[in-house]
Structure 1
Amino acid sequence: MFEFKNLVIDNFGKAGKKVILKLDIKNHTIEIYDVLPDSETLYFLANFFEIFDPKFSENIISKIINSNNLNDVLNAMKKAWDLDDVLYDENNFEIEFSNNTFYFPIYSKTAGSLGTVILKGNLNSEFIINFLAISDAITSILEGFILKMRVSELLYSTLEALSKALTKKINVDEKLQKEIENKIINLGEKFNIPKDILKIASKIYDLGKIGIPDYVFSKKELSKEDLEILNKHVEYGYEILSKIEDIPDQILKAVLYHHEKKDGSGPLKVKDVPLLAQIIGIVLEVVENKTPIDALQGKYDEKLIEGMKKNG
């Protein structure tokens, strides 16, 4: 319910008791009670006061829909409305407008409260009403990205636990492993691979080694048969990870092909090697195997070789 002057619009059948938002528009004080009215009612209110701005929503919905992740959505909102900042707080669930800052809670019918979007800038009551008039559409889009982010965080935690189990099994040099992870992430970012993908891939590319017998790792020198067994780890890793719902295909292919080379000299003899797999492979060659970069000509994309020369 909201009221102003002597007019009361009750969209819920009965008047609320708690004022959750108070706005001043053209010398009228609007009080919104208990829960927000629907967008249709707010749209009516914006038109009633002749403050509805069609340009406010123009292009913003399409820009948000075409975003890749939650940060892209927040940046699109910031740019479209010329705000100082747009943030997301997963722990705050209260609606509030004060000191040029608007806290707008995101609520999902299936998942419940999902946190709050915080808009900062030269805000006024007209902005808030226009925002609320299209808030149903914005909420629906934000809900999808927030839930996707939470799934990604859960996936990362699960894979990180598996990575730690692998580290204990094969007695990895943690300092060397950290260097490898950092170089994979740094090189990958230069080729516009999302950081969340790189963080996961850099930790679990060798996950399939969990399925390799312990005696292989205890040997100082490996026989031809031992190498054949060890090379199976890429297939084991692919099989393990492919059973995890929502894991990106980009990561699956990186795990399967990270020992492949463009000249077909890898264990699987594949020549069409995905970029992320090549990034992991070239970092392993240079950092772990101490292979001179110039010796890798023809085995990896030239741009990756140049990238390693500049930042290796």
Structure 2
Amino acid sequence: MNNLYNLILENLSILKEMDVEYKISIDNESFDNIKKNKNEKIRVLYKGTHNVEISFFEKTDNIYLLSLDKIIKKFCSIKKFDDPNKKIFDFLSQIKPNINFEKTIENIKKTLKEVFNLDDVEFYFSTNKNLLFKNISFPIYSMKKFSDISCFFDKTHLPIFLEKEILGYFILTKHNGFDLYDYALLYELNDYINKNIENSFLENKFNIILDKSLNILTKILETRVPGAEKHCQNISRSAVKIGEYLNLNKKDIKNLKFGSMIFDIGKIGIPEYVLLKKEDLTLEENELIKKHVNYGYNLVSKITTISEDIKKIVLYHHEKWNGEGYPEGLYGDNIPLLAQIIGLLDTYYSLLEDRPYRNKLPKRKALELMESYSGIFFNPILVKALKEVINND
């Protein structure tokens, strides 16, 4: 053991010659090389046949840290860990590229926990001001800020950068304590983790751009059909609730939200006198207004970022359960489910609104009318879902 003790002291002498600032305690015997008042980056404790506590105040070469870790573990009779390259390979092999931010974070958390035998891993946003992530529910970081990986006994803070700003932190917890081996490997993996998260940011950026584009289309429709924007907002809110009631997946619920904003966009191609006419429409005018679904579909089909499911909402939201709808006379479950939901809500909220050709109905009467159409114009399951959502609103 004296040989290992002397080897540790030799390493400390090398650190001193390299002007690396450190503080180390070996069985209560202290050594240090501290010249400036700096914050610690690393403080770890080895407990075995001997106790060694060591702190570093600046970034230190990872290869050197791994070598020192090996010597200290032998000195303390602590079981040696896996080969570092194997550990890195284990981590990289479990990381799954994904353009969804939340899924990427959860995958990294799970992999860190398994590979480093952690007790807990959490991710925190550094601020709540990042609008690109306004719909993502990770907590806000309220502790001391770090611009580099920092390791203190049983906690390690791993900062994540996006466009040169700190996006957030992974907080890693290991009750039996981190060591220099853990720190060195996390430092090696940090660039890869950051790049993985940067790639996942693309979907959030896309969703914000799409959201803004669809809002613009809704506002254009509002100029032709007064009240259209509020009508779409009401449908959007209830569509999401019906989607959740039916246990639809996140993608479908997102498509319901986006589809509800633009399903009637084809009406910008219908003459204003037809849209605002108080008298009964003529046969020709009826046929003309039916074309708004085709106009809308042709318009959104030119926007490559809009999904096929949303385009089908635009095209098929006037199909009826009994096959009497348009444009194709689809019936029953041949009508895409998301289009059925938007079509149902379009009719319901239309009944609650004043129109040029009729007055609005009270909510109770509107629901009764919708129930009378169950199994005729609308899917009975969706009518039941509508009633549940509206009555619990």
Normalising by structure 1, what TM-score? 0.74
Q: State the shift of 1:207 in Å.
A: 1.0
Find out whether 1:102 has 2:158 as its counterpart.
Answer: yes
Q: Conserved in 2, the CA contact under 8 Å of 1:286 and 1:293?
A: no
1:31 corresponds in structure 2 to 58
Q: Conserved in 2, the CA contact under 8 Å of 1:20 and 1:32?
A: no
Letter in 1 for 2:199: G
Q: Conserved in 1, the CA contact under 8 Å of 2:41 and 2:58?
A: yes
2:274 corresponds in structure 1 to 216
CA distance in 2, matches of 1:227, 1:20: 75
Find out whether 1:310 has 2:379 as its counterpart.
Answer: no
Q: State the shift of 1:62 in Å.
A: 4.6
CA distance in 2, matches of 1:234, 1:113: 45
Q: What SS does the aligned partner of 2:59 have?
A: strand
**Cα–Cα, structure 1 residues 146 and 68, in superposed 2: closer, same or farther, change >3 Å?**
closer
CA distance in 1, matches of 2:345, 2:212: 24
Q: Percent identity?
A: 26
Alignment of 1:239-250 (within 5 A): 239-250=298-309
Match of 2:103 among 62, 67, 72: 72
**Cα–Cα, structure 1 residues 282 and 113, in superposed 2: closer, same or farther, change >3 Å?**
same
Cα deviations by residue, 1:218-241 (Å, 9 ceiling, x for unpaired)? 201222211211111111111111
Cα deviations by residue, 1:242-278 (Å, 9 ceiling, x for unpaired)? 2123222221111111111343221121232222111
**Cα–Cα, structure 1 residues 113 and 236, in superposed 2: closer, same or farther, change >3 Å?**
farther
Give 1 or 2 for the bigger CA radius of gyration: 2
2:320 corresponds in structure 1 to 261
Find out whether 1:278 has 2:337 as its counterpart.
Answer: no
Letter in 1 for 2:287: E
CA distance in 2, matches of 1:228, 1:88: 55
1:12 corresponds in structure 2 to none
Cα deviations by residue, 1:11-66 (Å, 9 ceiling, x for unpaired)? xxxxxxxx999334562527338xxxxxxx96x5775436667678857865643x
Letter in 2 for 1:145: S
Q: What SS does the aligned partner of 2:325 have?
A: coil
Q: What SS does the aligned partner of 1:32 have?
A: coil
Find out whether 1:251 has 2:305 as its counterpart.
Answer: no
Count of aligned residue pairs for this structure pair: 285
Q: Conserved in 1, the CA contact under 8 Å of 2:318 and 2:325?
A: yes
**Cα–Cα, structure 1 residues 79 and 181, in superposed 2: closer, same or farther, change >3 Å?**
same
Q: Conserved in 2, the CA contact under 8 Å of 1:46 and 1:130?
A: no
CA distance in 2, matches of 1:301, 1:247: 26
Q: Conserved in 1, the CA contact under 8 Å of 2:99 and 2:202?
A: no
The root-mean-square deviation of aligned C-alpha atoms, in Å, is 3.7
Q: What SS does the aligned partner of 1:134 have?
A: helix
5+ residue gaps in structure 2? 1-10, 19-37, 47-53, 71-80, 114-119, 132-145, 352-365
Cα deviations by residue, 1:114-144 (Å, 9 ceiling, x for unpaired)? 7524213537566554433333443343222
Match of 1:154 among 185, 209, 219: 209
1:37 corresponds in structure 2 to none
Cα deviations by residue, 1:72-101 (Å, 9 ceiling, x for unpaired)? 22234445533243437659xx83346854
CA distance in 2, matches of 1:46, 1:266: 72
2:123 corresponds in structure 1 to 85
Q: What SS does the aligned partner of 2:303 have?
A: coil
Q: Conserved in 1, the CA contact under 8 Å of 2:233 and 2:261?
A: no
**Cα–Cα, structure 1 residues 282 and 30, in superposed 2: closer, same or farther, change >3 Å?**
same
CA distance in 2, matches of 1:307, 1:55: 50
Q: State the shift of 1:173 in Å.
A: 6.0
Q: Conserved in 2, the CA contact under 8 Å of 1:60 and 1:76?
A: no
**Cα–Cα, structure 1 residues 46 and 183, in superposed 2: closer, same or farther, change >3 Å?**
farther
Q: Conserved in 2, the CA contact under 8 Å of 1:185 and 1:202?
A: no
Match of 2:187 among 127, 132, 145: 132
1:172 corresponds in structure 2 to 227
Q: State the shift of 1:170 in Å.
A: 0.8
Letter in 1 for 2:249: N
Q: Conserved in 2, the CA contact under 8 Å of 1:263 and 1:299?
A: yes
1:202 corresponds in structure 2 to 260
CA distance in 2, matches of 1:56, 1:79: 15
Cα deviations by residue, 1:262-306 (Å, 9 ceiling, x for unpaired)? 432211212322221111011122232444224221544443233
Q: What SS does the aligned partner of 1:102 have?
A: strand
Find out whether 1:229 has 2:288 as its counterpart.
Answer: yes
Letter in 2 for 1:22: K
Q: Conserved in 2, the CA contact under 8 Å of 1:46 and 1:129?
A: yes
CA distance in 2, matches of 1:21, 1:304: 60
5+ residue gaps in structure 1? 9-18, 34-40, 107-111
1:38 corresponds in structure 2 to none
Moved more, 292-301 or 200-209: 292-301
Q: Conserved in 2, the CA contact under 8 Å of 1:21 and 1:97?
A: no
**Cα–Cα, structure 1 residues 167 and 31, in superposed 2: closer, same or farther, change >3 Å?**
same
CA distance in 2, matches of 1:70, 1:286: 35
Q: What SS does the aligned partner of 1:200 have?
A: helix
